[in-house]
Amino acid sequence: MKSKITLKELAKLLNVSVSTVSKALHDSPEISPKTAERVKELAKLHNYRPNPVAVNLKKSKTGTIGVVIPNISNSFFARVLSGMEAEAQKHDQQVITYISNESLEREKQICDLLTSGMVDGVLIAVSEETQKKQAYDHLYALLDYDIPVVIYDRINLGLPADKIGVDDEKSFYEATQFFRTKGLHKVGLASAIHHVGIGQLRIKGYEQAMQDEENLHTVTSTKPVDLKSKIRNLIVSEKIEALLCTDFESAILATRVAYEENIKIPEDLKLIGYISREVAQYLTPSLSYIEQHPQELGIKAVEILNNRLDGKYKTGEFEEKIVSTTLVHLESTGF
């Protein structure tokens, strides 16, 4: 039970002033080596640690950054968080985590909390509901404050802030092209997130790559049952040769349909999904996927935030960075 010792108590024990102790511990050149040593020795003995709350008050900052995560069960975001935490550590910042659960209401509450000055900066991925309803008022309110905001992952919402995202459009363009160069032309796309920004970008990438094909084979729905039957149609009736899935749900449904219909992957159907490595490698067959490098995204998000905090960017001008994706081949593409 070493209850925390303060500067004042240390000063009294040493018979010097509080200022002297503080300076000594900060290696101020004002202090004589002899005194400095005495002070440090006693500080060590008592395991003195400056009270971070007091230091922060004095320095008018909080030493923390706030991270808003839409869905922590999604291992993409879990790994983004892991990157953020690692990078924040390097800057001696603590990461305060807020989970919006893809809920607009919750996101509003969180933004409200954030404006009270709990944190020096905010990293946020906007919730699905917010995007669907295009209700961005609370975000503009947050931006209106002096608090720096970096939007990560879900970036194409037109908000005036620094951004770091994934190259969604290009990744799907390339994945589609990949199939075509392999001689497959009946390439389909399934999506359960066609209503949110990143989904739209992925679909756009696919359409770009398919523009000289006669038919697109796109199916979308937010209802699993619906989407499943549409996918079944794509596979069984339209007999597509390859399928791109924009998200976890559509990828799983496609795998399921193939299993149920006895369609062999990758022999009869090739599959690429936009899912995380954690899951991809353990599906049967394992699913070729687009690696988004979430850890790196998290690291860069914190870098951008700190650049902003350090005044390295001009006010009114916003940084926008993109992390490139990698197509990782597992069993479902057979290459």
Partner DNA sequence: CTGAAAGCGCTTACAG
Tell me if residue 328 falls in helix, strand or coil. Answer: strand
Contacts of 233 (CB under 8 A, 6+ apart): 219
Work out which of 85, 87, 107, 128 binds a copy of itself, going by CB under 8 A.
Answer: 85
Report the partner that residue 33 touches, choosing among DNA, a copy of itself, none (CB closer than 5 to 8 A by kind).
DNA
Structure tokens at 191: 């999506």
Structure tokens at 103: 């809920």
- Smallest separation, CB 309 to DNA (Å): 17
Do the Cβ atoms of 298 and 81 come closer than 8 Å? yes
How many other C-beta atoms can be found within 10 angstroms of the C-beta atom of residue 145? 14
Residues 54-93 that bind DNA (CB under 7 A): 54-55, 57-60
Do the Cβ atoms of 281 and 264 come closer than 8 Å? no
23 binds DNA (CB under 7 A): yes
Nearer residue to a copy of itself within complex by CB, 79 or 154 = 79
Do the Cβ atoms of 241 and 264 come closer than 8 Å? no
Q: Residue 295, class by beta-carbon neighbours within 10 Å (0-12 exposed, 13-18 middle, 19+ buried)? A: middle
Taking contact as CB under 8 A, which single stretch among the options 67-75, 191-199, 213-221, 231-239 is the one that binds a copy of itself?
A: 67-75
Taking contact as CB under 8 A, which single stretch among the options 124-132, 276-284, 304-312, 319-327 is the one that binds a copy of itself?
A: 276-284
252 binds a copy of itself (CB under 8 A): yes
Element (H, E) at 242: strand 242-245
Spatial separation of the C-alpha atoms in residues 287 and 158, rounded to whole Å: 33
Do the Cβ atoms of 243 and 188 come closer than 8 Å? yes
115 binds a copy of itself (CB under 8 A): yes
45 binds a copy of itself (CB under 8 A): no
**C-alpha torsion 221→226→232→233, nearest 10:** -80
314 binds a copy of itself (CB under 8 A): no
**C-alpha torsion 69→73→74→75, nearest 10:** 100
334 binds DNA (CB under 7 A): no
Spatial separation of the C-alpha atoms in residues 118 and 134, rounded to whole Å: 26
Tell me if residue 224 falls in helix, strand or coil. Answer: helix
- Smallest separation, CB 123 to DNA (Å): 24
Work out which of 118, 309, 327, 328 binds a copy of itself, going by CB under 8 A.
Answer: 118
**121-124 vs 94-99, strand pairing mode:** unpaired
Work out which of 284, 320, 324, 335 binds a copy of itself, going by CB under 8 A.
Answer: 284
Work out which of 196, 203, 279, 323 binds a copy of itself, going by CB under 8 A.
Answer: 279
- Smallest separation, CB 32 to DNA (Å): 3
Residues 2-21 that bind a copy of itself (CB under 8 A): 2-4
- Give the binding site for DNA (CB under 7 A): 6-8, 15-20, 22-23, 25-26, 29-35, 49-51, 54-55, 57-60
- Give the binding site for a copy of itself (CB under 8 A): 1-4, 47, 49-54, 56-57, 62, 64, 72-73, 75, 78-79, 81-82, 85-86, 94-99, 101, 115-118, 144-146, 252, 255-256, 259, 278-279, 282-284
